[in-house]
Amino acid sequence: MPTIHNVFNLLRCFARFKLGRPTPFYMTYEVTYRCNLRCKFCSVWRNGSKKELDFGQARRLIDKVAEVGVPVFNLSGGEPLLREDLEDLALYAQRRGMMTQLNTNGTLISRDRARKIAEVFDVVNVSLDGFEKTHDGIRGINGAFKKAVQGMKNLIKVKDTCTVGVASVLVKENFAELIPFFHEVKRWGGDFVCVLPVGGTEFFSNYSVSAKEITDFTEKLLAEKMKDHSFISPWENIIKLMPKFVRGEMPRICDAGKLYLALDSEGQISICPIFSRNDSYKIGSLLDSSLFEILHSKRAEQVFKLTKNCSCYALCTTAFSLMFRMSLPNLARETLRYYKLFT
C-alpha cells in the first residue's frame, strides 16, 4: 500500500507531466546481470556486464534518485536475489521515500529470505510463464517452475502489506494456457498477475504472437479483468490496445528518459528500461553526476532523438505512458480499483 509520501510524489509527477515538465516516475535498477536461469529470449545471462556497484556506491546512487522525487524504484537484474545485500538496498530506498518493487525469477526465495523480502518490498513480481512444462521450456532450466512456485508460496505465507504476483511474458508457447494458469495463481493466494504482451523490438520479435492470437487472448483477458480488476493488473486500456499495436495501427508512444529510466549494474543511466544495456541509450554515469545534470546534458538531448525511430509495448514503458495520459479522475478510479478500494 503506498504511503502519503508516495502518493504525493506520484501526484507531483502527474501534475508536472500534464504541465509539460515531466520528471521521472519509475527507475529500474539492474543490480546484477548474473542469473541462475537460462531463458531463451534473454541475452543478459549470455553477455551482461560482470561489474557491480558495492553497497556504499549503490546507496549513494539511491540518494541521487530519491533527490529528484522518483516515486517507484524497481530492483531487477539478472536475478537480483543473487545479491545478498538486496534487501538492505530495498530498505534504504524505502526509507528514502520510494515505493519498492522487485522483479525476480522466484527460485531463490527461501523461507528465511521471504520474511525479509516481504518487509522491504511493496510489490514483488515473480516471473512465471505458465505451467511446469511450458515455464521450464521457456526458462531453460528443469525444476525452475517448482522452485519459483515454492518461493512465491513462501512469500505469500509471510506477507503483510507487500503485494505478490506473477509477471508472464506472452509468447507463442504459452498464450493458450495463460488464463487457466492465472486461475491457478489465484488459488495459491497471489494478489495479481500481469502479462508483458509483446515487444515490438528485436528483443521479443522472434517470440511474439500473431495479431489474431493476440486479439483472442486480449478478449479473454478483458473478460477476466471484468471479474476481478485488481487481480489482472494491466489497466483496461493497455489490454485493449494490444491488438492495435501488433497490427501496427497504434500511434507511437514513448516517454523514455522523461517518465522512465534505467540504472545498469555499473551505475550508468539509460533513458530506456528495455534497452538498458545498449550503449546508444546511455546518457551518463550516476557515480559522477546528479540525475538532474545527466537528464539535462547534451548527451541526453542527442539520445532522446534516437527514440523517434523505435517502438515497444511493455508494462514498464507504454503502460506508464498511457497512465500519465489519463485524466486525474480516471487515474484515481483505476488506482482505487487496483487496491480493491473501489469496484
Q: Compare residues 103 and 230 and give the one whose CB is closer to ligand SF4.
A: 103
Question: Of 105, 128, 239, 273, whose CA–CA distance to 193 is shortest?
Answer: 128
Q: Compare residues 77 and 284 and give the one whose CB is closer to ligand SF4.
A: 77
Identify whether the C-beta of residue 314 lies closer than 8 Å to the C-beta of residue 90.
no
CB of 312 to ligand SF4, least distance (A): 3
Q: Which grid cell sits at 43?
A: 541475452
CB of 336 to ligand SF4, least distance (A): 27
Q: Compare residues 79 and 122 and give the one whose CB is closer to ligand SF4.
A: 79
Q: Compare residues 135 and 229 and give the one whose CB is closer to ligand SF4.
A: 135
Helix (H, G, I), strand (E, B) or coil at 314: coil
Q: Compare residues 101 and 230 and give the one whose CB is closer to ligand SF4.
A: 101
CB of 29 to ligand SF4, least distance (A): 14
Q: In whole angstroms, how far apart are CA 29 and each of 72, 133, 145, 160?
A: 11, 31, 25, 24
CB of 77 to ligand SF4, least distance (A): 5
Identify whether the C-beta of residue 319 lies closer than 8 Å to the C-beta of residue 238.
yes
Round to whole Å and give the CA distance between 281 and 262. 10
Round to whole Å and give the CA distance between 45 and 199. 19
Give the DSSP letter of residue 232. B
Round to whole Å and give the CA distance between 207 and 161. 35
CB of 177 to ligand SF4, least distance (A): 19
CA 223 to chain centre: 24
CA 294 to chain centre: 23
Residues that bind ligand SF4 (CB under 6 A): 35, 37-39, 42, 44-45, 77-79, 105, 139, 201, 254, 256, 272, 274-275, 307, 310-312, 317
Q: Compare residues 239 and 256 and give the one whose CB is closer to ligand SF4.
A: 256
CB of 78 to ligand SF4, least distance (A): 5
Question: Which residue type does 43 have?
Answer: S
How big is the CA angle at 148 (ends 147 and 153), to the nearest 5 degrees? 100
DSSP string, 153-215: HHHHHH-SS-EEEEEEE--TTTTTTHHHHHHHHHHHT-SEEEEE----SHHHHTTPPPHHHHH
Q: Compare residues 8 and 203 and give the one whose CB is closer to ligand SF4.
A: 203
CB of 254 to ligand SF4, least distance (A): 3
CB of 228 to ligand SF4, least distance (A): 27
Q: Compare residues 222 and 310 and give the one whose CB is closer to ligand SF4.
A: 310
